[in-house]
Copies of this chain bind each other. A is one copy, B any other.
Amino acid sequence: MAFRLSALAEILTRYQMTCEIVGDEKREISSVATLEDAGPTEISFLSNAKYEKALATTRAGAVIVSREQEVPPHLTILRTADPYAAVMAVMVHIHGYRAHPKTGIDPRAVIDPTAKIGENASILHGVTIAADVAIGKNAVIYPGVFVGPRCRIGDDCILYPNVVLYDDCILGHRVTIHAGSVIGEDGLGYAPVGEKWHKIPQVGIVEIGDDVEIGSNCSIDRATLGRTVIASGTKFSNLIAIGHGSKIGENCMFVAQVGIAGSVNVGRHVTMAGKVGVAGHLTIGDNAQIAALAGVMNDIPPGTKVAGQPAIPIKEAMRSISLMQRLPEMTRQIKALEIQVAALQKLLESQSTTP
């Protein structure tokens, strides 16, 4: 299906975005592609200056750019304040989200008779749903998923293949969990008795809010007591570990391989880049931004950007790195000073003995 450029511009207005078309507004667009790959019936976009050069060579039928962006004169463009948000809207309109199988409840799924499943659910073959589970409307549950006893899952949730929910976990509405992620396994809770470790029963749960998306192969520990929380609107990438009893606030964004120890409190709208580690029992303030590979060893105040191991304010971390690179020069400066001072001392000694 193809859409005129003018129709796509119309779509943006529904998202409260204004835009201006420069070129043929009747051009027909059938899909979205990168500047490198796009052809004459495709629309592309520029939101990262790093790819600006590709404007000169792109074969795209149209390109979404910022209001200020300079472009080669032959290009048909769509100017708007936030090209990245605009392409999102255009992609949703043209491509939409993944279509899921509409199978109803497959008779080959193993569903405990005490489980309650809302209307319009697709529960595929090879799914296990244990006793006393409650699942809301429109669920899509792929093969190999295990939903443990007494879990409660809201409406419009998607569990991709081989997701595992341990007992008693709670998911809100519109939660998506990607393949292979595990929610509610026991945390690393042991009491040391001599050199041995005695297991502490992990009687808490995991509670996930609304509109949360969890990537693939993540592991979210249940709390020892109480709850591990992933609050509404938060998005995780892959291979993320969340320790027992930690609470992650609303609208956070965690990149792949982040690891949070136990009993950490993370505020709202915190971003953590790839491989960040946070030690136990810390508090990370709202809107904090943690750079990739940072090792957080202390509380982070709200709104602070930090980097490094241990993590410190990012400006200090950058200065540290540049000073590190100055160490060879500092070594030379010290050596030079030592020679000069020794020479001065010798000179003064000779003066004091000369007369």
A positions within 8 Å CB-CB of B: 31-34, 36-37, 48, 50, 82, 84-85, 87-88, 91-92, 95-98, 101, 108, 110, 124-126, 128, 130, 142-144, 146, 160-162, 164, 166-167, 178-180, 182, 185-188, 190-193, 195-203, 213, 215-219, 221, 225-226, 233, 235-239, 241, 243, 245, 250-251, 253, 255-257, 259, 261, 268-269, 273-275, 277, 279, 281, 292-293, 295, 297, 309-310, 312, 319-321, 323-328, 330-331, 333-334, 337-338, 340-341, 344-345, 347-348, 351-352
Contacts and interface: CB of A to CB of B under 8 A. Distances in A.
Count copies of this chain in the complex: 3
Contacts of A340: 341, 345
A179 B124 CA distance: 20
A188 B235 contact: yes
A293 B196 CA distance: 24
B110 A126 contact: yes
Contacts of A130: 101
Contact of A180 (B84, B128, B162): B162
Contact of A257 (B160, B164, B199, B241): B241
Nearest to A341: B340
21 contacts: A33-B225, A125-B128, A126-B126, A126-B128, A128-B143, A128-B161, A162-B164, A164-B179, A164-B180, A178-B182, A186-B215, A188-B256, A217-B218, A257-B277, A259-B275, A261-B292, A274-B277, A323-B327, A323-B328, A337-B341, A341-B344
A110 B185 contact: no
A33 B164 CA distance: 26
Contacts of A341: 337, 340-341, 344
